[in-house]
Structure 1
């Protein structure tokens, strides 16, 4: 996988194995980086809390949706 962060708060994740790519916001990048270092849900929330203040009320649902999307796109496994 290759993550390319752009200057205007978005990033592109590319999987050369299947040719797929997805765009992330800065929040998505933070979640992805947390996942790639092995953090669990609580670790992801802690990382988001340190980077973004305040967190949206539905942050747990946002994390779930993000994870579901990257699994469906072939970037992660359950």
Structure 2
């Protein structure tokens, strides 16, 4: 089980007590993490990010995909992410 511990100023830490892996999250990463429920596609996350976050950069898709890849490599996400 992965634990999300929300800290100050919307930052958070993901922690896997079994492996000891921890991963710091900025506010945008926290937003993305909260969308990872198995129902949202990468495109859904990008659309919601664009609607709810001010000044979403043009390269947001690159950031989101890199974040998902990092989570997977750290063992903090255990499934493939839906594309469509």
What TM-score do the two structures reach when normalised by structure 2? 0.83
In structure 2, list runs of 5 or more residues that go unmatched.
none
Q: Which runs of 4+ in 1 moved over 2 A?
A: none
Paired residues in the alignment total 78
How far off is 1:10 after superposition?
A: 0.8
Higher mean C-alpha deviation, range 27-36 or range 47-56: 47-56
The CA RMSD measured in Å over matched residues stands at 1.3
CA contact (8 A) 1:11 1:29 kept: yes
Q: How does 1:1-78 map to 2 (within 5 A)?
A: 1-36=2-37, 38-77=39-78, 78=80
TM-score between the two structures when normalised by the length of structure 1: 0.89
Once residues 39 and 60 of structure 1 are traced to their aligned partners in structure 2, the CA distance between those partners, rounded to angstroms, is 14
Q: Which gives a bigger RCO, structure 1 or 2 (Cα 8 Å, sep 6+)?
A: 2
Greater per-residue strand proportion: 1
- Structure 1: unaligned runs, 5 residues or longer: none
SS in 1 for 2:24: strand
Paired with 1:71 and 1:65, the residues of 2 have a C-alpha distance of: 10
What's the offset of the Cα at 1:45?
1.2
